[in-house]
Amino acid sequence: MFGNPSGRDEIQKSFENELRVITKLCKSGSHAHIVSVFRLGEVKDSALFYIDMELCDGNLDQFMRERGSAITLNDVWNVMLQITSGLAHIHSQGEVHRDIKPRNSEIPLNCSC
């Protein structure tokens, strides 16, 4: 959840763009490497917006920190294939992911990649 009463218009514009992209992706069907979004909304009479999405127990940043030097070339290859598969789907819908980083790459912490 995020909000900022003084920057409400900017936040609402950003949120509405996210809603447009998510709606478009949902209409194109689910994808194994894109987190499912169930609902987007605004808390009534407030400047708080929320995204109700699939619960993931970890992300690539955590995975890399926990595995450290034990990450194999096979792990890297498999994770990158999954990320690029999701990105390819997003791009096929005419959209661009504007915030690609390890923290935004959700993966199970017990991933056997």
List the catalytic residues. 99
**C-alpha closest to that of 89 among 24, 15, 40, 14:** 24
The C-alpha R_g of the chain, in whole angstroms, comes to 16
Give whole-number Cα distances, 44 to 30, 49, 53, in Å: 29, 9, 19
